[in-house]
Amino acid sequence: MNARRAVRGLSLHAVVWLIGAFVAVPLVYAVVSGFKSTGELTTNPFGLPARWKIGNYTGILGDAMFWRQIANSTLIAVGTACCTVGAAAMAAFVLARYAFRGRELFYALFTIGLMFPFTVAVLPLFLMLRTFGLLDNPLGVILPQAAFGLPMTIVILRGFFRTIPAEIEEAAVMDGCGRFRFFWTILLPMARPALGTVSVLAVVASWNNFFLPLLVFTGPEWQTIPVGVQQFQGQYSTDYALVLAYVVLAMVPALAFYAVAERQLIGGLTAGATKG
Amino acid sequence: MSTPTAERTREAVPARPPAPVRRLPRGGADWVSLAWFLLPALVLFCVFVLAPIAVAVYTGFFTWGGIGPMDDFAGFGNYTRLFGDEVFLGDLGRGLYLIVLSVTVQLPFALLTAVLLNQRLRGRAVYRTLFFAPYILSEVVTAVLFTMIFLPGAGMADHLAGLLGLEGLRGRWLADPSTVMPTLFTVMVWKYFGFHMMLFLAGLQGIPAEVLEAASLDGAGAWQRFRHVTLPLLGPTIRISVFLSIIGSIQLFDLVWVMTAGGPNHSSETMAIAMFQFGFKRYQVGYASAISVVLFMISLVFSLLYQRYVLRRDLSGAVTTGGGR
């Protein structure tokens, strides 16, 4: 019996290991290859580098363009998260806690936004941004991203705001607290976990967006990391090891953020997906 | 602020005890202050989500290059051209191909992984984190990484094929019309299965242990427990997963654009790629808008039908009772 259980446990581990290899090998390959020269990459694709060459990584880390892209991505992600969460929190507050005519209509309007694919809107969006003069302007990426993030954020926040007991608001109102003050000084601080979750979702979505920054930013001034990676690959297409080093360095901020915010991210995705 | 009014008109809502819904007096200052709260979201949403779709519908009726006056009304000309275009019909077929593979290969794979990681297993938190990690990466970063892996001659995939005795695959991956779609699909699985695994894990955790124990006591084996208890109880999660992977497959862009740009010879083109090619490379903006509209209609009709017929019982909060199907 024990032996059979051991065999079962072993085969279970084997399957999980195999899946793990499927996920991890490309990542490890990229990291290790970044330490090789491109010549060595073709002759010795799997082994450890004969001489660990840190030049690829240090060269990119010394490049002002790389840091500029990181800074742009960060600024745009933070801007998007602030706009999305700010606007969504205000709307969700009203939609969750007050009955008024048309409330369900407004809520339905936002939820149908969940079905609108970003890809569909991108071409007319570009034409509109051009008309507004928002090309080559970070707002041209921040505002549309915020708008497309609203439906999911409103759904999650509305659900959370409904769980905050009415007695708290009653007490606040009796103490002479206005609606806006209640929202700002009591409700938002209480909703901090939910706000954290939706902010993390907004940051990740913005950080990974490629289509819109590609179209809106014509020059290198505002280029974000995903666009930068693609451009870099085009520019150094024959220096494989260098491109892989760039890919690895571009992954680091996202993975570091994931390590810090894992719980909020997964909580938000599972809540958002099942409530969507 | 009209504190006394709000006090007086407060009502309890019987259906949901904790939900503090307040009824407001009709008209008056209160409505106005609530409108201010709604305004930012409404403006953003109307300007950047609803208006572009309206613009696409309008532009789709014109033959237009993107600049200058839009005065060459084409009626449904762009649409008749679309549905007479073999490449575009191929795009639809490739979308369907990705949907079918996602649902029949990726989701079962994600489910298997979730079931494995739901067992007592040393280091399962580490595996969970690892399997989900690709989902966090930008599609472009993923695409460039795999472009390097599938490089003819120098990439890891060629060497791996050599080691496994699959010499026939060397140098072909993304370069050959017959292998490009399976290759792209593999990258898709790498990127997205962790997300579905996470959904399934959340669903599995919601299954009460007593139900499985009871089945066990009644003599159900591991497979029977999975088939007749776990799977039906996981129904709502599975339906959501199917929904998300279909919508995702229809809209796939970044990954394909960076890895193949739709090539070789349109063999990996998707609707979104065609839209991008016509709209931004070939300056046939009216035609590209028509592609956007078709993509939108497909997503919309699918979403509505799916919500109406498949998700209805989940959304209404009913417990799934499907054991036989």
Asked whether B259 and A233 are in contact (CB, 8 A), the reply is no
Q: Is the CB of A115 less than 8 angstroms away from the CB of B138?
A: no
CA atoms of A185 and A256, how far apart (whole Å): 32
Q: Is the CB of B33 less than 8 angstroms away from the CB of A176?
A: no
- List CB contacts (< 8 A) between B154 and chain A: 38, 41-42, 45, 240
- List CB contacts (< 8 A) between A166 and chain B: 18, 20
Helix and strand element counts for chain B (H, E) = 18, 1
pLDDT for the residue A273: 65
Percentage of chain B exceeding pLDDT 90 = 50
Q: Is the CB of A87 less than 8 angstroms away from the CB of B16?
A: no
Domain boundaries, given as residue ranges, for chain A: 64-273
What is the tens place of the pLDDT at every residue in B105-157?
A: 999 999 999 999 998 888 888 999 999 999 999 999 999 999 999 988 778 88
CA atoms of A126 and A56, how far apart (whole Å): 36
Q: Judge: domain A64-273, CATH 1.20.58.220.
A: no
One-letter identity of residue A231: Q
pLDDT for the residue B29: 53
Q: Which residue of A has its CA nearest to B16?
A: A162
**Which residues make Cβ contacts (< 8 Å) with residue A138, sequence separation at least 6?**
A72, A75, A76, A79, A222
Q: Best of B5, B16, B48 to disrupt the A interface by mutation (most A CBs within 10 Å)?
A: B48
* DSSP strands (E only) in chain A: 98-99
Nearest C-alpha neighbor of A56 from the set A212, A239, A209, A259: A239
Asked whether B274 and B87 are in contact (CB, 8 A), the reply is yes
pLDDT tens-digit profile, chain A (276 residues): 577 777 777 788 889 999 999 999 999 999 999 998 888 887 877 888 888 888 899 999 999 999 999 999 999 999 999 999 999 999 999 999 888 888 888 898 888 888 777 888 899 999 999 999 999 999 999 999 999 999 999 999 998 898 888 888 888 888 888 888 888 888 899 988 899 999 999 999 999 999 999 999 988 899 999 999 999 998 888 888 899 999 999 999 999 999 998 888 888 777 766 644
Please check whether residue B83 touches A, CB under 8 A: no
Q: Mean pLDDT lowest for which of A127-141, B161-175, B220-234? A: B161-175
Q: Is the CB of B113 less than 8 angstroms away from the CB of A254?
A: no
Q: Is the CB of A226 less than 8 angstroms away from the CB of B280?
A: no
Q: Best of B144, B238, B257 to disrupt the A interface by mutation (most A CBs within 10 Å)?
A: B144
pLDDT for the residue A166: 82
What is the tens place of the pLDDT at every residue in B15-58?
A: 444 555 555 544 445 777 888 899 999 999 999 999 999 999 99
Q: Mean pLDDT lowest for which of B1-10, B94-103, B222-231, B285-294? A: B1-10
Name the residue with higher pLDDT: B163 or B5. Answer: B163
Q: What sign has the CA pseudo-torsion B216, B218, B222, B226?
A: negative
Q: Is the CB of B44 less than 8 angstroms away from the CB of A147?
A: yes
pLDDT for the residue B1: 36
* Position B324 confidence tier, pLDDT thresholds 50, 70, 90: very low
Q: Is the CB of A23 less than 8 angstroms away from the CB of B279?
A: no
Please check whether residue B130 touches A, CB under 8 A: yes
- List CB contacts (< 8 A) between B147 and chain A: 233
Shortest CB distance from A23 goes to which of B45, B134, B156? B134
* Position B286 confidence tier, pLDDT thresholds 50, 70, 90: very high
Q: Which residue of B has its CA nearest to A30?
A: B145
Q: Which residue of A has its CA nearest to B292?
A: A120
**Phi, psi at A238, each rounded to 5°:** -95, -15
pLDDT for the residue A39: 83
Is the pLDDT score of B321 beyond 80? no
Is the pLDDT score of B10 beyond 60? no
Contacts of A99-104 with C-beta under 8 Å, sequence gap 24+, read A99/B11, A99/B21, A99/B22, A99/B23, A99/B24, A100/B24, A100/B31, A100/B34, A101/B26
Name the residue with higher pLDDT: B216 or A276. Answer: B216
- List CB contacts (< 8 A) between B141 and chain A: 225-226, 229, 247, 250-251, 254
Q: Is the CB of A98 less than 8 angstroms away from the CB of B136?
A: no
Nearest C-alpha neighbor of B94 from the set B293, B252, B294: B252
Q: Which residue of B has its CA nearest to A178?
A: B1
Q: Which residue of A has its CA nearest to B191?
A: A23
pLDDT for the residue B163: 82
pLDDT for the residue B8: 38
- List CB contacts (< 8 A) between A244 and chain B: 145, 148
Q: Which residue of B has its CA nearest to A85?
A: B41
CA atoms of B57 and B289, how far apart (whole Å): 7
Is the pLDDT score of B65 beyond 50? yes
pLDDT averaged over every residue in chain B: 84
Q: Give the number of other Cβ atoms within 10 Å of residue B118's Cβ.
A: 17
CA of A246: how far to CAs of A61, A72, A226, B136, B141, in Å? Answer: 9, 17, 11, 17, 9
Asked whether B132 and A222 are in contact (CB, 8 A), the reply is no
pLDDT for the residue A98: 85
Shortest CB distance from B251 goes to which of A25, A119, A254? A119
Cα Rg of chain B, angstroms = 25
**Phi, psi at B73, each rounded to 5°:** -65, 130
pLDDT for the residue A272: 67
